[in-house]
Chain A
Amino acid sequence: MKIVALTVNGKPVEAAVEPRTHLADFLRERLRLTGTNLGCEHGVCGACTLMIDGAPARSCITFAAACAGAEVRTIEGFDDDALMERLRQAFTAEHALQCGYCTPGMLVTAYDIVMRLPDADEARVREELAGNLCRCTGYVGIVRAILHVLATRCAR
């Protein structure tokens, strides 16, 4: 077991972890933060995407023991975030989810797109979403929702 100290959604956390425990399992099973979903568990599907030190990362192929000193922000950590609130509203308005399993990862990726690429057009949004699989929607609603937030953000 390794003792690891990190910050999760702004709160300091210290725990003994087995080195092989990946961050998503640590969050879900130890901290009961079940908003992070696990799909493929080998870094392909994007469902487990969350923020580590402000940048999107796959929590299924990041080991909790390797996160000493890191600031982890899960979907729960965005509850009071104004931009995420608008993304959530846009996802609802555009019917950007059906089963919802990919949604936490989609929202984190969407947040990164809006913050990092304010001028992104539809082609770029689609390219950036390539790492998040959705098997329900065909992506049309998701792309529309992100483009809507990008457009209204630029207008402000």
Chain B
Amino acid sequence: MKASQFEYEKPDTLQTALALLAQHREATVLAGGQSLGPLLNLRIAQPKLLIDVRGLAELSAVRDVGDAVELGACVTHAAIEDGGVPDLARGLLRSVARGIAYRAVRNRGTLGGSLAHADPAADWVSVMALLEANLLVRSAADERRLPAASFMTGPLSTRLMAGEIIVSIRIPKFSDRTRAGYYKFNRKPGEFAEAIGAILVDPDRGIHRAVIGATAGAPFVIEDASALLDRVQSPRMQELVTTAGFIPGSYEHRVHLVALQRAAAKLQ
């Protein structure tokens, strides 16, 4: 399994990368390569040009911006796992990072790359929706901010337009009383999730949000999940899993319900 032929450029600055991307609309951006690499080897992706942005300073910075933290798109899962970024949501980021694939993958795979790849079963897609993060995306001509919750439009598709690169991900800071629960259902550590349940409660900011992830497309966000938190076995939870697109009584419905219940149980 060898990739088909492509050209390769490694620009020194984000500006050069964006200019290249503007010139070559059929180019693909390479960050950590942990999702794109397999797609290239399997020849599912056959770009004419790879623009390697790994290691660009503009994409690697971690900045405290007052009420939020901004993580460069090329921050690796391993850096988050090792505490290289500020702790947000009571250690949620670190524990999620540790469960992504394997250490050899986490050493190179990036937050922005995972979001851009938009596998429904990937962890950050669900977690960034839960945390109400937003993405700064830039093209040679423009830049804009997109909410993480509506960034994905379907499996492997996003609102990213031709010529755009994710620059950073802004995650709001939560209060000290915040609690978070995350549960990923898979058969072997590191595999893509069969089901994801995630819940965030910040009483000081009135947040009771839940996410059902590893769906057929974008993560399913439940803005007011307060009713779920009182009684984990509530029929309301079953209804929500159904609304998220799963057929009652099916295996998928069952595992997504269990993932959500276990995420809720982890809060307590």
Contact = CB atoms under 8 A, between A and B. Distances in A.
**Are chains A and B native binding partners rather than an unrelated pairing?**
yes
Interface of A: 2, 18-20, 22, 25, 41-44, 46, 49, 52, 55-58, 60-63, 65-66, 68, 109, 112, 116, 127-128, 130-132
Given A128-B103, A131-B101, A20 B30 contact: no
Given A65-B8, A66-B8, A42 B38 contact: yes
B59 to A, nearest CB: 15
A19 B9 CA distance: 9
The A contact surface, by secondary structure, is: mixed
The B contact surface, by secondary structure, is: loop
Contacts of A56: 103-104, 107
Contacts of A63: 8, 33, 37, 50
Given A66-B8, A131-B190, 5 more contacts: A57-B108, A58-B105, A61-B41, A130-B102, A131-B105
B54 A127 contact: no
A41 B41 CA distance: 7
A8 to B, nearest CB: 18
Given A66-B33, A66-B54, A130-B188, A18 B5 contact: yes
5 closest Cβ pairs, A-B complex: A131-B102, A61-B37, A19-B8, A42-B38, A130-B189
27 contacts: A2-B8, A19-B7, A22-B37, A42-B42, A43-B37, A52-B107, A52-B108, A56-B107, A57-B108, A58-B34, A58-B37, A58-B104, A61-B33, A61-B40, A62-B33, A62-B108, A65-B8, A65-B10, A66-B8, A66-B33, A112-B103, A116-B103, A130-B188, A130-B189, A130-B190, A131-B102, A132-B102
B2 interface: yes
Contacts of B107: 52, 55-57
Contacts of B8: 2, 19, 63, 65-66
Interface string B170-192: 00000000000000000011100
Interface of B: 1-8, 10, 30, 33-34, 37-38, 40-42, 50, 52, 54, 78, 101-105, 107-108, 188-190
A22 B41 contact: yes
A42 B1 contact: yes
A109 B105 CA distance: 12
Contacts of A132: 102
A20 B37 CA distance: 10
A132 B190 CA distance: 11
Contact of A42 (B6, B41, B50, B188): B41
Contacts, number: 92
A114 B102 CA distance: 16
Given A42-B41, A61-B38, A66-B52, A109 B103 contact: yes
A66 B1 contact: no
B28 to A, nearest CB: 12
Contacts of A55: 78, 104, 107
A25 B37 CA distance: 14
Interface centre among B42, B101, B107 (most CB of A within 10 A): B107
Contact of B4 (A20, A58, A109): A20
B103 A46 contact: no
Contacts of A112: 103
Given A57-B104, A130-B189, A131-B104, A66 B38 contact: no
A20 B33 contact: no
A19 B6 contact: yes
A142 to B, nearest CB: 15
